[in-house]
Amino acid sequence: MPESHIIAEGLTKRYGDFAAVDGIDFDIKAGESFGFLGPNGAGKSTTMRMIAATSLRTEGRLEVLGLDANENGPEIRSMLGIVPQADNLDEELRVRENLYVYGRYFGLPRAVVNERADALLEFAQLVEKKKARVDALSGGMKRRLTIARALMNEPKVMLLDEPTTGLDPQARHVLWDRLFRLKERGTTLVLTTHYMDEAEQLCDRLVVVDHGRIVAEGSPASLIRSYSTREVLEVRFGTDKNEQAAKTIEGIGDRVEVLPDRVLVYADNGEQALSAVTDRGLQPVTSLVRRSSLEDVFLRLTGRSLID
Amino acid sequence: MTTPFARTRRMGWWYVAEHRIRAMRNYIGSFFIIGLGSPVLYLLGLGAGLGVLVNERQGAEAIDGVSYIEFLAPALLLAGVIVSAAQESTFGVFGGFKWTPIFLGMRDTSLTPRQIVTGFTVGTMARYLPASAMYLLVMYNFDIVNGWRPLLLLPIAALLGLAVSLCVMAWVATQKDDRGQLSFIERFVITPLTLFSGTYFPLETLHPGLHWIGWISPLWHSVELGRLVSYGSEQHGWLTLVHIAYPLALIVLGWVLSVRHFTKRLQS
């Protein structure tokens, strides 16, 4: 059994009467890729900041790399690589200089910093941009530079807060590829996301968070198995008619869910469910059979969709 | 063997200063124009223009026992220091939280708020000390000063710069939005201080009811010290100690408050 890198028990963060994080437990092992999945405001970023020891917990226990997070902030951060939600690169410096000054913050000798900066420019596919101004980079490049910067101290754990939010699909795939390589090297990855495809791609295990609480935990596949069916049939009848049609569909598959724009029928065989729907005399405007995803898990657990 | 973390504990402040100095290289031209060009222009304009008038009316050695340009020159050097120090602590600090949030980047490393505050302030010295040294050379060149004592203007400038940097920083670190109040510092604090701190005329010339402005102004205390080292102005020994102790006290106060505000802002 690999050692635990992060252990939380009853972890709580309160702002006045409001509990942003409300007594959560988790145990992240060395080399694991662990995700916090949830909508905006679920308490994911607050949890990340407590792990990074830049926000102090109100209650509970939180140990990061064997140290109490409230007591040992600087030492813990010397072993972490932190990628914040919003880039905070120094735009007055060039690309490579950003890596250089950041490496120096960790007390690394100049020779080591220079060597790592070059290797990480390569890793982040930014060698050609090394002398460019930061504000001239695209969103995806800035993100890769932020990740490269967080790797300067060769961290044991990488904390990635919404790593691909705001990026176009191509830039997201490039980034996922880079993160996947880190995972292969054995770096522990802890990430928050509200994209289920991201969680499915990158996480070995994840917790679904809502209103500061953990509502489910497991691997993406096991969560889908436990909380959803193998397939989902999506049918649309027009905004005014979905509700009515859902009543007729009731009883087909395991469960029927009505969203404002479509009706979801959870069934192990989507095609069979579709013929059952037409057998009942309904003619959907469009229909689609797909595999269940974490979005369905989230909908089942919270009654809401991930991205409002 | 020293671990990198142990090195950061000891030297973290210096890494921040190093970062600032590196970033300033981009502005080296304008910093020199502001830091050196502007006092030199004042010196030429006021010394050669107004100074002639003053000397004609008052006699060549009537102000503090020296010519007007000798009286004015050290004060201009120090006035230049407070302008640069205040600017850097205003826009540099506010920007470091908001526009280019470098402080948030630093927070995510093993640096502490103390090291960030100390390093940033020390880094700012790179903006005004070289300019002050060049200006001092101009003073030597024009025979306004001679001997080694005027070199002490540089530590005086450092003391004054740190005091102003840290006090301004302590306030700016509490500002979350810029609604024009940032330019207040320059217009309603720094400019009046340069006008009423015995820079262009002795403090005694002012109405006695306004002397308190000089007493609370770090610039006045430093200018008094500056005149002592550049031409040996007459001064009581105990007053010299006050002129050294006052900026030191502001440095301590400004540092403690800045660290408190940075900690509050960077950690919750």
Q: Which residue has the higher pLDDT, A62 or A1?
A: A62
Domain that holds residue B183: 4-266
CA-CA distance, B258 to B171, in Å (whole number)?
A: 8
Q: What is the pLDDT of residue B65?
A: 83
Average pLDDT over residues B111-121: 98
Which of B110, B115, B116, B127 best tests the A interface by mutation, with the highest count of A CBs <10 A?
Answer: B110
Going by pLDDT thresholds of 50, 70 and 90, the confidence category of residue A151 is very high
For chain B, give the percent of residues with pLDDT over 90. Answer: 65
Q: Report the DSSP pairing between strands A59-64 and A67-68.
A: antiparallel
Residue A155 pLDDT greater than 90, yes or no: yes
Query: Using the beta-carbon criterion (under 8 Å), do B8 and A91 form an inter-chain contact?
Result: no
Residue B31 pLDDT greater than 80, yes or no: no
Q: Specify which residues A61 forms β-bridges with.
A: A9
The Cα of B91 is separated from the nearest Cα of chain A by a number of Å equal to 14
Average pLDDT over residues A51-61: 96
Q: Which residue has the higher pLDDT, A1 or A281?
A: A281
pLDDT per position as a tens digit, A133-150: 999 999 999 999 999 999
pLDDT per position as a tens digit, A212-248: 999 999 999 999 999 999 999 999 998 888 888 989 9
Going by pLDDT thresholds of 50, 70 and 90, the confidence category of residue A7 is very high
For chain B, give the percent of residues with pLDDT over 70. Answer: 100
Q: Which long-range contacts (CB under 8 A, 24 or more apart) does B182-188 make?
A: B182/B90, B182/B91, B182/B94, B185/B86, B185/B90, B186/B83, B186/B86, B186/B87, B186/B90
CA-CA distance, B115 to B110, in Å (whole number)?
A: 10
Going by pLDDT thresholds of 50, 70 and 90, the confidence category of residue B188 is confident
Phi, psi dihedrals of residue B194, rounded to the nearest 5° = -65, -30
pLDDT per position as a tens digit, B192-216: 888 888 888 888 888 888 888 889 9
Residue B43 pLDDT greater than 90, yes or no: no
Going by pLDDT thresholds of 50, 70 and 90, the confidence category of residue B54 is confident
Q: Which pTM was predicted? A: 0.92
All structural domains of chain A, each given as residue ranges with its CATH number in brackets, are: 4-224 (3.40.50.300), 229-291 (3.30.70)
Question: CA-nearest residue of chain B to A50?
Answer: B268
Query: Using the beta-carbon criterion (under 8 Å), do A105 and B26 form an inter-chain contact?
Result: no
Question: CA-nearest residue of chain B to A154?
Answer: B4
Lowest-pLDDT range of A162-176, A180-194, A266-280, B38-52: B38-52
Cβ proximity of A289 and A274 under 8 Å: yes
Residue A306 pLDDT greater than 70, yes or no: no
Going by pLDDT thresholds of 50, 70 and 90, the confidence category of residue A293 is confident
Helix axes A139-150, A110-123, angle to 10 degrees: 140
Average pLDDT over residues A33-37: 95
Residue A73 near chain B (CB below 8 Å): yes
Residue B125 near chain A (CB below 8 Å): no
The Cα of A281 is separated from the nearest Cα of chain B by a number of Å equal to 59
Q: What is the pLDDT of residue A305?
A: 63
Which positions ≥6 away from B214 have C-beta within 8 Å? B196, B197, B198, B203, B206, B220
Cβ proximity of B182 and B90 under 8 Å: yes
Residue A307 pLDDT greater than 60, yes or no: no
Lowest-pLDDT range of A149-153, A239-243, B263-267: A239-243
Residue A290 pLDDT greater than 60, yes or no: yes
Residue A25 pLDDT greater than 90, yes or no: yes
Going by pLDDT thresholds of 50, 70 and 90, the confidence category of residue B222 is very high
Lowest-pLDDT range of A8-17, A254-263, B92-101, B121-130: A254-263
> A 194-223 residues with CB below 8 A of B?
none
Whole-number average pLDDT of chain B: 91
Question: How many distinct structural domains can be found in chain B?
Answer: 1
DSSP string of B188-214, one letter each residue: IIIHHHHHSSSSSS-GGGS-GGGHHHH
Q: Return the HEC string of A11-43.
A: EEEEECCEEEEEEEEEEEECCCEEEEECCCCCC
Query: Using the beta-carbon criterion (under 8 Å), do B19 and A104 form an inter-chain contact?
Result: yes
Whole-number average pLDDT of chain A: 92
pLDDT per position as a tens digit, A71-118: 999 999 999 999 999 999 999 999 999 999 999 999 999 999 999 999
pLDDT per position as a tens digit, B68-109: 899 999 999 999 999 999 999 999 999 999 999 999 999 999
ipTM confidence score: 0.90
Q: Which residues in chain B have Cβ-Cβ distances shorter than 8 Å to A102? A: 105, 109
CA-CA distance, A211 to B80, in Å (whole number)?
A: 54
Q: Which of B4, B106, B112 sits opposite A108 (nearest CB)?
A: B4
Going B247 to B253 to B258 to B263, the CA torsion angle's sign is positive
